[in-house]
């Protein structure tokens, strides 16, 4: 059975809806998203939080669609193009502003869905979160055990619920081990290739309304990274798990290829508080 693993990563995509930070006009949103200092921070976190584990996946057989606008300013558009050249799994989708965000996301990923696949494992990869280096391997392997459940409705979610929440402020980086129900990172939605839907069509906080789901909590599989530029910064429903704080650096390096010291220095250098959002860090 062929299980295609297909991810969508939106990098400051300019369009309508789809975000919690709202603007009255497209030009206001463009000014917000394309602010040079904001883009510099976003790229830094993308390079140091998100990309390391994606480049180190133990199963390299996946596709990651990098979705942005054709007018993304330089040098960031060129840097995305360069990333596609060195990362075999990456595909660049330049999507003009569209009012309906879900339609825009489908335009981005539709050309990359394998019609011959038996199942597509869709995942949403935010550009400041991370998945563990064995996420793709496990999401493909574990589907075998979940297949009978998937065949009931030809929709299924798999939630790797154990992870770490990192918060970046002017004080540095704090680390909190959390079990989170259906966090964005490391949540897989399995659909048939002809579904004309993606992970974006099923809001993660209420995905149980749309399909059955399986929770696999055994090992840390995601990093939720909270910073000044989060769209929401809400952690989501869950609770802590016990771990030794002295081992955070080793765990982040081993499971996510993240250098905690680098993040600490960057957070202090940016010198910014958390995002001004109602539920940031909650």
Assigned fold of 3-270: Spore Coat Polysaccharide Biosynthesis Protein SpsA; Chain A (3.90.550)
Residue 244 φ/ψ, nearest 5 degrees: -90, 115
Helix (H) or strand (E) holding 156: strand 156-159
pLDDT of residue 99: 86
Q: Measured between alpha carbons, how far is 150 from 190 in angstroms, rounded to an integer?
A: 8
pTM of the model as a whole: 0.95
Provide the pLDDT for residue 194. Answer: 97
Query: Mean pLDDT highest for which of 73-77, 98-102, 236-240?
Result: 73-77
Q: Using an 8 Å Cβ cutoff, are 132 and 221 in contact? A: yes
Q: Please tell me the total number of residues recorded for the chain in this structure.
A: 282
Residue 76 clears pLDDT 80, i.e. is over it: yes
Given the DSSP bridges, would you call strands 119-124 and 3-10 parallel, antiparallel or unpaired? parallel
Which residue ranges make up each domain of the chain?
3-270
Of 117, 64, 108, the residue nearest 88 (C-alpha):
64
How far, CA to CA in Å, does 171 sit from each of 49, 124, 159?
Answer: 18, 29, 32
> What would the pLDDT profile of 110-146 be if each residue is shown by its tens digit?
999 999 999 999 999 999 999 999 999 999 999 999 9
Contact 163, 253 (CB under 8 A): no
The pairing of beta strand 90-94 with beta strand 172-180: unpaired
Residue 38, CA distances (Å) to 13, 30, 45, 90, 93 in order = 13, 12, 11, 23, 21
What number of other Cβ atoms are within 10 A of residue 239's Cβ? 9
CA distances from 186 to 62, 64, 124, 140, 246 (A): 14, 14, 8, 12, 25
Tokens of 41: 């921070």
| Window from 12-21, 56-65, 176-185, 236-245 with minimum mean pLDDT | 12-21
Sheet harboring 130-131: ordered strands across? 130-131, 222-226, 162-169, 172-180, 238-240
């Amino acid at each position: 059975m062929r299980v295609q693993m297909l991810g969508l990563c939106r990098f400051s995509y300019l369009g309508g809806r789809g975000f919690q930070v709202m603007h009255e006009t497209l030009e206001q949103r463009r000014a917000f998203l394309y602010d040079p200092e904001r883009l510099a921070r976003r790229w830094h976190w993308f390079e140091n939080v998100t990309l390391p584990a994606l480049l180190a996946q133990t199963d390299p057989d996946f596709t990651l669609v990098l979705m942005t606008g054709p007018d993304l300013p330089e040098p960031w558009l060129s840097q995305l193009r360069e990333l596609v050249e060195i990362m075999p799994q990456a595909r660049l989708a330049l999507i003009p502003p569209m009012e309906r965000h879900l339609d825009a996301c489908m335009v981005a990923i539709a050309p990359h869905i394998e019609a011959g696949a038996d199942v597509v494992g869709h995942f949403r990869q935010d550009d400041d979160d991370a998945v563990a280096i064995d996420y793709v391997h496990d999401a493909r392997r574990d589907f075998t055990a979940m297949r009978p459940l998937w065949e009931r409705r030809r929709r299924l979610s798999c939630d790797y619920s154990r992870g770490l929440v990192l918060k970046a402020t002017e004080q540095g980086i704090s680390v909190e081990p959390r079990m989170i129900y259906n966090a964005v990172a490391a949540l897989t939605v399995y659909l048939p290739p002809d579904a004309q839907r993606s992970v974006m069509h099923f809001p993660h906080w209420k995905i149980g309304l749309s399909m059955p789901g399986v929770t696999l909590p055994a090992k840390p599989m995601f990093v939720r990274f909270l910073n000044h530029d989060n769209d929401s910064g809400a952690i989501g429903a869950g609770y802590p798990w016990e771990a030794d704080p002295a081992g955070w650096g080793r765990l982040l390096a081993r499971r996510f290829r993240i250098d905690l010291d680098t993040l600490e220095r960057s957070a202090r250098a940016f010198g910014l508080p958390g995002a001004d959002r109602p539920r940031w860090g909650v």
